[in-house]
Amino acid sequence: MRNFTFYLLLSTLLVLAGCGGSSSDDTSSTYTTSYIQLYNGSANSTSTRLILTDDDDVSILIGSATYTDATSLISYTPDSYDIALSRLNSAGDDVSILESTLQLKQSYKHLLLLSGDYASPDLLSLSFLRDDSLTDTFKLYVVNLLPDTTAYDLYISDSDGTFDDATLVSTLNYQQISEPMEFSTGSYIVYLTIAGSRDVLFSSASYSFSYLTEYVLVPRQASGPLQGNVAIDVISNTTTVTHLTDIEATAQFRLYNSIDNDEPTDIFLNDSVLFTALPSDVFSDYAQLDAADYRLSAIDLQGQYVMKNALLTLNQGQSKAVVLYKNSDDVSRAIVVEESELPQIYDFDVNVVNIINDYTSLSLYFVPPADTIDTTDYAIATLNRGAQTDINLPDGAYRILLVFTDSNKNNTLLAESELQQFEAGKNYLLVAEPDSNNGYKLSLLH
C-alpha cells in the first residue's frame, strides 16, 4: 500500500478564484446562461447542500454532495447571489456550514470545491468561460486537495505510453488551482509524483477523456477504512464523479465467522491459511492484499472443509467484509459486502446481512429514544434471508429491533439491541443471525 502522511492546515473561510477563463466580457453563443456545481472535497464531512439566494430573498437548492461527490451542473440566471452550504442534522434541521457571495457570469461554469476541516471549511472557486470552439480537444484543470505541505506534480500520458512519455500538467501545493492545458481527446494515464521527483507515487488505469469540454482533476486523500490511500477524482459536467485509483493500491477484507461450532476454523485464501483457528462469533482483523480474485475456504481442525472456494474479488482501494454462515440447506456460504468509503462521522452507512433461515423475510427498525417502530424514519422493510443491504443513519442513538410480520400483519419481535451510539470513523456491519441461547440475535460489529 502506498501511504501518505497528511498535515492538516489551520484554515479560515477562503474563497480562491481559479484562472483559465477569457475576459469577463466574453460570452458563448452555445452556453447562454450561467452554470454552477458543488464538489465536496472535505474528508471529514457529510452530505452538504448548496443553496442560492437572490436579491428578492428567493432561495433555490442547487443540490447536495457527499465526500468525493458533486451536484449536477445547474444552469442559472447570471447575477449576484448569497450562497449557503449546510447539512441536515438527525432532526432534519438545516445546520449552516458556511456562507458567502458569488457572482454568476453568463456563459461561465462556476465550480465550488469544499475542502479542509468540515468544522471550519474552505471554499475554492474555479470559474471559466465554457469553450464552444473545441473540435477534437479537451481542456484540463487540476485542483490539489492533498492537505499537506508537499507540492505535487501531475502528469498524463497516452494510454499506450509510459511515465517517460508523460506530459507535466501542473505543479501544485495544497488548495492551488492550475491554469488549463489542452489535449487531444482520447485515453490517458494519470500520474502523481512529489514535485521535481521522477518516482511515481500514483498511476491510474487508462481513462477516456472523450468529450469536447473542460475536465477538472482533484488529487485527494481517501477516507473510510483505507485512509492512507490517494485517489484522483475526475469532475466533468455530470453529477457522476469518476474516482481514479492507484493501479498498485492494495485492498483489504475482514471476516465474521457466524457458524456456531465448538471448534475454531482456519480460513484459507487460495491455498494458504490466512486466519488460524478463527472462533465463531468473531470478527477478524483486516487482511491487506493485492487486488485480485481469490478462492476463500474454511477448514475445521479435523481437516474437513466447512466451506470451499467462495469467490472473493478485491479491486484496488476496496475494503470488504465477509460473513461466513450456513444457509437453509445447512451448506456453508459466504456473503461479501463492500464497506463504505465515506467518512462515517455525521452519518453512518451500516451494512446489514440477514442469515436467519427460519423466515423468508424480516424487517429491521432503527428507533431513536423518543420513537417507536411506527414513527421511526429509519427502517429496512424487507430483508430476505441470505441477503444484504445497507442503510444510512444520522449520528445519534438507536435501539435496533428485528421483526417478523406474518400474513395477517401481526408482528413478532425476534431480537432487540440495547441503545446503540455509533462511534465516529468506524465502519459497521450488522448481522441478524441465529443464537443457540435465545433463538436469534443482532450482532453490531466494527
For the segment 85-134, what is each residue's pLDDT rounded down to a tens digit? 999 887 788 899 999 999 999 999 999 999 999 999 999 999 999 999 99
In angstroms, rounded to a whole number, what is the distance separating the alpha carbons of residues 122 and 130?
25
37 near 112, Cβ under 8 Å?
yes
183 near 138, Cβ under 8 Å?
yes
Say if residue 233 is exposed, middle or buried (CB neighbours under 10 Å; 0-12, 13-18, 19+). Answer: buried
334 near 322, Cβ under 8 Å?
yes
- Could you say which of 2.40.10, 1.10.3470, 2.60.40, 3.20.20 is the CATH number of the domain covering 341-446? 2.60.40
**Assigned CATH for 250-339:** 2.60.40
Q: How many CB atoms lie within 10 A of CB 352?
A: 21
Average pLDDT taken over every residue of the chain: 91
Where are the chain's structural domains?
A: 34-245, 250-339, 341-446
pLDDT given for residue 222 in this prediction: 82
CA distances from 76 to 13, 103, 375 (A): 25, 11, 39
**Can 250-339 and 341-446 be said to share one CATH topology?**
yes
In angstroms, rounded to a whole number, what is the distance separating the alpha carbons of residues 207 and 146?
21
97 near 48, Cβ under 8 Å?
yes
Which grid cell sits at 319?
475494503
In the chain, the amino acid numbered 18 is: G
Which grid cell sits at 286?
483486516
In angstroms, rounded to a whole number, what is the distance separating the alpha carbons of residues 302 and 280?
16
Beta-bridged to residue 310, according to DSSP, are: 296
141 near 185, Cβ under 8 Å?
no
pTM assigned to the model? 0.88
337 near 429, Cβ under 8 Å?
yes
Q: Which segments in the chain show pLDDT lower than 50?
A: 1-24
In angstroms, rounded to a whole number, what is the distance separating the alpha carbons of residues 367 and 381?
13
Locate cell 457572482: which residue?
Answer: 103
